Chain A
Amino acid sequence: MSGGMWAEKYRPQTLDNMWNQTEIVSRLKNFVKERNLPHLLFVGPAGVGKTTSILALARDLYGSAYRSYILELNASDERGIDVIREKVKNFARTAAIASDVPFKILIMDEADSLTSAAQHALRRTMEIYTRTCRFCLIGNYSENIIEPIQSRCSVFRFGPLGESDMKRWIKTIAEKESVKLIEEGVDAIYEAAKGDLRKATNLLQAAAATQGGKVDDIAIYSVLGRVSPGKVRQMINLGLKGEFLEAREVLRTLLIDEGLAAEDIIRMIYSEVLRLGIPERQKVALSDTIGEIDYRLTQGARPEIQLSALVARLALAGEEIDR
């Protein structure tokens, strides 16, 4: 195996290769042994092994031709529940042939982003095709999955990766890729990615690119400064200084040139604002404004207008700090 993104290159291919989530993995192995499984619901934070587990399970179950027995859908990329139903129908109505397992597996990522009406429709689809198809729904929060679906699935809760597990894995990849990774670099990666292994691996790879194979904390911070959160920070600082026009330019870059969703920008703004060196009362006031704007965006308001109003408010906050 060579080339590509390291996060994929080092993704464990079989359940035996999984080195974390040991409890869950051993239960999944039982399904493989019995050649049968229930509908599955995997919940947990990003980058902890949810998709990896189901792909590994499929490979163990069907062998190397496993790709013909699974269908991967991402709810956030599909246009509406009708499209999803159509795809599910086409995939699920034919039984798995040339396999001793009588069903195929449909993997639905970001299932928790479906509206509850869409989930009810999905539940009916699950019932219709239950004989020939197992569903593996994946999401971050089980609260966002309707009860009737939860009760039809075996729920697996994936915990966040611990600091030492995470660091060990990052070091392993660095070693295999002959990256000279300094301890401060490892700390910086963990600080930025927390328990998200995909994010950590991507960050390591980008930092390795910048420095020709040597990664310390400076390399990590310089990469972070060049990606979206760095630009959001730049926008906030311009806003605080009262450079509204410049800040608006950065906002436009984020929204238009980089194509970030408004909800992601507002999430980044929020976490930056909490870390700012401004009076605590200001943080509360800004948080209140952010909350209002966040709500407006969910109601279909125009992102650039609403976020600009927020940036204008930063100027006022910045002015009050100066006094």
Chain B
Amino acid sequence: MTEDQHWANRFSPKTRLEIAGNERAVGQLRAWIESWERGIPKQRAVFLYGPPGVGKTCSVVALANDLDFDLLEVNASDHRTGRKLDTFIGRSTQQRITITGRRRMILFDELEGVSGQKDRGGISTIASIIKETKIPIILIATSVGERWEEKFRPIVTLSLLIEYHPVPFGELLRRLTAITEELGIDVDEDVMELLADRSQGDLRSTINDLEAITRGRERVTMADCEGLGKRDRKDYTPDALMKMFSAKTLLEARRIISSTHINYDTLFDWIYENLPLVLDDPGDLVEGMDALARADIHQTRGRRSQDYRLLKYMFNDMTGGVALSRRNSKGTGLMAEVRRKVAELGFPPSAFTVTEAPDGIRIRPVRYLKDDWGRVNAVFRSRGAQWVRGGGCWLLPYFRPPQLVWRYRRTWHSRRRRQSIAEAVAKKCHISTKEAVTEVIPLMKVMFQDDPGMVEEISGWLKLEKKETDWLKN
């Protein structure tokens, strides 16, 4: 292994234990491969699908390694016609072991690359290979775009389907931390949180980003992240929300489910985030929040009973239920919030002109803010506003992305610290970590903030690290 390899390859897992996330999928895959020891299973192929960069190919390679299989990798897009595939692969699927006596299996990667009418033959050839094979066949496709699964129908019906999910945020962070430690680079925690957040569960792209900003540096701060480019936000979600909130019928409101590209969980969060800005009448707000809370119940039930028919009730409540609650609201929630923030900042209302634009509210300072600009900017930014360069104003979009997930992610290190303190307290005080978090840590924070003497005594007693002590003091 050479130093100048791409990091994404250099740090790819060599064994099952190194795979990040997707434990369930990898477990299923392993069980299926092992089932071949008891003869040819009912499904002779597995079909692995999921978003890019979550470890589909890596897990196959790592398992082949662990279970000592000879892996024949076929990049499907290299053999586009049925006949070529058949001659190349067909024969090898009839021999269970290689000449050196190792068991073998075949991996068809990047099946999504097989596209268009011309390749139909390719898919059906793979299907006939599956029907005859005497060795395990693994198929991989990245699930992108709509209706991607349709063209794979001939092989999907013959295969065991295993879905891969985005790598969890904490797992991404752990991986990034491990890499930076191995390389001895000092990367700020908020940089890692930013990288993990941008990637939306794509480990490969996270590592690529890390490589891009850290190559040639020994210490990386937020300032180095400027060049990363804006995150790919699906900017039409706000438009869809605008339509949904002004819908007059259930059907109209529900259209948002199919009209946006984001999944319904994320859509739910968008609606929840923005609902109080639209429903500014207390009665409307109660109704709207009730509808959303019931939508949440329908989803919980659907998930628990594995009965996804129940999801339609969730959709109705979260779209129609919310939109039709709007009866007395004036839609001035956002304006009111801006005025409140201005007052909280200690400015008279006349210090800013606030106008409505098609994409949001423009907040223009009447005079130069000078030293106050940073302070004001921080407050507006925390509400989702952006300073328009050259425009001399902030633009606060009518709909803002969900803060919930963002907030969980941005506080990841802080919450980990709280947990490790809680564990120390729990052990020393003979209580549960939950009780430590609820009952003891809040009081400890008071002690740490107000009495330097106690800080020393207690952190020594609990053997806290400096970062933990600082967390309690903050």
- Whether A associates with B in a native complex is yes
Interface residues of A (CB under 8 A from B): 2-5, 7-8, 51, 55, 72, 74, 76-77, 109-110, 198-199, 202-203, 205-206, 208-210, 212, 223, 226-228, 242, 244-245, 248, 252, 256-261, 264, 293, 296, 299-302, 304-306, 308-309, 312-313, 315-316, 318-319
Q: Smallest distance from the beta carbon of A120 to chain B beta carbons, Å?
A: 22
Contact B461 A5 (CB under 8 A): yes
Q: Does B431 contact A (CB under 8 A)?
A: yes
Contact A76 B292 (CB under 8 A): no
Contacts of B4 in A (CB 8 A): none
Contact B289 A309 (CB under 8 A): yes
- Within the assembled complex, what's the spacing in Å between the Cα atoms of A312 and B277? 13
New A-B pairs, 10, CB < 8 Å, besides A8-B429, A261-B438: A2-B457, A209-B450, A209-B451, A210-B450, A260-B438, A301-B296, A301-B297, A313-B286, A315-B285, A316-B283
Within 8 A of A (CB), among B277-308: 277, 282-283, 285-286, 288-290, 292-293, 296-297, 300, 303-304
Residue of B288, B296, B434, B442 near A302 (CB, 8 A) is B296
Contacts of A8 in B (CB 8 A): 428-429
Q: Does B250 contact A (CB under 8 A)?
A: no
- Within the assembled complex, what's the spacing in Å between the Cα atoms of A304 and B428? 31
Nearest chain A residue, comparing its CB with the CB of B442: A227
Contact A301 B429 (CB under 8 A): no
Q: Smallest distance from the beta carbon of B410 to chain A beta carbons, Å?
A: 9
Contact A77 B434 (CB under 8 A): yes
Encode contact with A along B350-375: 1 for CB under 8 Å, 0 otherwise.
Answer: 00000000000000000000000000
Contacts of B293 in A (CB 8 A): 293, 296, 301, 305-306, 308-309
Q: Does B414 contact A (CB under 8 A)?
A: yes
Encode contact with A along B427-449: 1 for CB under 8 Å, 0 otherwise.
Answer: 01111111101111011111100
Q: Does B408 contact A (CB under 8 A)?
A: yes
Interface residues of B (CB under 8 A from A): 272, 276-277, 282-283, 285-286, 288-290, 292-293, 296-297, 300, 303-304, 333, 337, 403-404, 407-408, 411, 414-415, 418-419, 425-426, 428-435, 437-440, 442-447, 450-451, 454, 457-458, 460-462
Contact B438 A206 (CB under 8 A): no
Contacts of B444 in A (CB 8 A): 5, 206
Contact A261 B434 (CB under 8 A): yes
Contact A72 B404 (CB under 8 A): no
Contacts of A4 in B (CB 8 A): 428, 457-458, 461-462
Contact A256 B443 (CB under 8 A): no
Interface centre among A203, A261, A305, A316 (most CB of B within 10 A): A305
Contact A51 B446 (CB under 8 A): no
Contacts of B292 in A (CB 8 A): 305, 308-309
Q: Smallest distance from the beta carbon of B265 to chain A beta carbons, Å?
A: 10
Supposing A77-B426, A227-B443 touch, asked if A296 and B451 sit within 8 A by C-beta, the answer is no
- Within the assembled complex, what's the spacing in Å between the Cα atoms of A293 and B184? 49
- Within the assembled complex, what's the spacing in Å between the Cα atoms of A97 and B431? 28
Contacts of B461 in A (CB 8 A): 3-5
Contact B438 A312 (CB under 8 A): no
Contact A206 B446 (CB under 8 A): yes
Contact A256 B408 (CB under 8 A): yes
Contact A199 B439 (CB under 8 A): yes
Contact A7 B429 (CB under 8 A): yes
Supposing A4-B428, A305-B293, A308-B272 touch, asked if A223 and B438 sit within 8 A by C-beta, the answer is no
Contacts of A259 in B (CB 8 A): 415, 418-419, 437
Closest 5 CB pairs of A and B: A209-B451, A4-B461, A3-B457, A309-B293, A227-B442
Contact B442 A258 (CB under 8 A): yes
Contact B447 A252 (CB under 8 A): no
Contacts of A258 in B (CB 8 A): 418, 437, 442
- Within the assembled complex, what's the spacing in Å between the Cα atoms of A85 and B151? 49
- Within the assembled complex, what's the spacing in Å between the Cα atoms of A212 and B452? 10
Q: Smallest distance from the beta carbon of A268 to chain B beta carbons, Å?
A: 10
Interface centre among A51, A199, A258, A309 (most CB of B within 10 A): A309
Interface centre among B289, B407, B428 (most CB of A within 10 A): B289
- Within the assembled complex, what's the spacing in Å between the Cα atoms of A226 and B445? 9
- Within the assembled complex, what's the spacing in Å between the Cα atoms of A103 and B445? 41
Contact A315 B282 (CB under 8 A): yes
| 19 A-B pairs in the complex with CB atoms less than 8 angstroms apart | A2-B457, A77-B432, A199-B439, A202-B440, A205-B454, A227-B446, A245-B276, A245-B337, A252-B403, A252-B407, A261-B434, A264-B438, A293-B293, A301-B293, A305-B293, A306-B293, A308-B289, A308-B292, A318-B282
Nearest chain B residue, comparing its CB with the CB of A315: B282
Contact B447 A300 (CB under 8 A): no
Contact B300 A300 (CB under 8 A): yes
